[in-house]
Amino acid sequence: MRVFIVYAHPSENSFTHHVKDSFITGLEYSGHNVVVSDLYRMHFQTDMSESEYLREAMYRKDLPLPPDVQAEQKKIIESDAITFIYPVFWSDAPAKLVGWFDRVWTFGFAYGKDRIMTPLYKGLVLCVAGNTMQYFKETGLLDSMQRVMLEDRLFDRVKTKEMIIFDATSREYPDRESNWERHLQRAFDTGRNF
């Protein structure tokens, strides 16, 4: 299976980076092909231009797309599954990834009548959070995060979808380092069993 990973973290020295590497190791262990878009390293432009906005607002799929958007859409078309890996910033993805959705999920490609993006076999969201799962459940943020990523952004663009949150990674938790080992093993196992 060809797995397209959209990765968004500003630091190469982060736990999220280790999660990505462990997941990829698991995928490769099982013989999957992996393609990665590292949005920060690519300097992916996240703001829509006025012409991009007008294309979307007027549902004009005949208007041209920028080359960087075309390149991301090509990666999607050539893949069987898509995975998003990112840290949780204010209960959502980093602005860099949100901007990727704004620009890449275009009319005629990801939505609209006769869209060309066929549903991918699987969609997976792997995100790293400082807070605990208990906190996310008690505050209702878990439901919100899942609705936004799985039900809005992925919607019917993937056949099966799942969100895994690697929680309690903040420096304020004394068991942070033991959580890391557990989380990295889970990332590897998730890739291996993909």
Model confidence band, residue 90 (pLDDT cutoffs 50, 70, 90): very high
What is the predicted pLDDT for the residue at 153? 98
Q: Are strands 120-128 and 81-87 parallel, antiparallel or unpaired?
A: parallel
* DSSP letters for 40-90: HHHT---SPPHHHHHHHHTT-TTSPPPHHHHHHHHHHHT-SEEEEEEE-BT
Task: State the Cα–Cα distance between residues 55 and 38, nearest whole angstrom.
Answer: 26
Are 141 and 180 within 8 A, CB to CB?
no
Q: Which of 185, 170, 3 is nearest to 85 (CA)?
A: 3
pLDDT (average), residues 155-176:
88
What is the predicted pLDDT for the residue at 169? 85
pLDDT (average), residues 86-94:
95
Statement: residue 64 has pLDDT above 80: yes
What is the predicted pLDDT for the residue at 168? 83
Domain boundaries, the chain: 2-192
What is the predicted pLDDT for the residue at 126? 98
Task: State the Cα–Cα distance between residues 161 and 87, nearest whole angstrom.
Answer: 18
Write phi, then psi, for 146 (nearest 5 degrees): -65, -40
What is the predicted pLDDT for the residue at 175? 74
> How far is it between the farthest Cα atoms of the chain?
55
Q: Are strands 81-87 and 158-166 parallel, antiparallel or unpaired?
A: unpaired
Task: State the Cα–Cα distance between residues 119 and 187, nearest whole angstrom.
Answer: 24
pTM value surpassing 0.85: yes
Residues 6 or more apart in contact with residue 120 via CB below 8 angstroms: 76, 79, 80, 81, 82, 157, 158, 159
Choosing among 3.40.630.30, 2.60.120.10, 3.40.50.360, 3.90.1150.10, the CATH entry for 2-192 is 3.40.50.360
Q: Which of 103, 119, 106, 100 is nearest to 60 (CA)?
A: 106
pLDDT (average), residues 33-52:
97
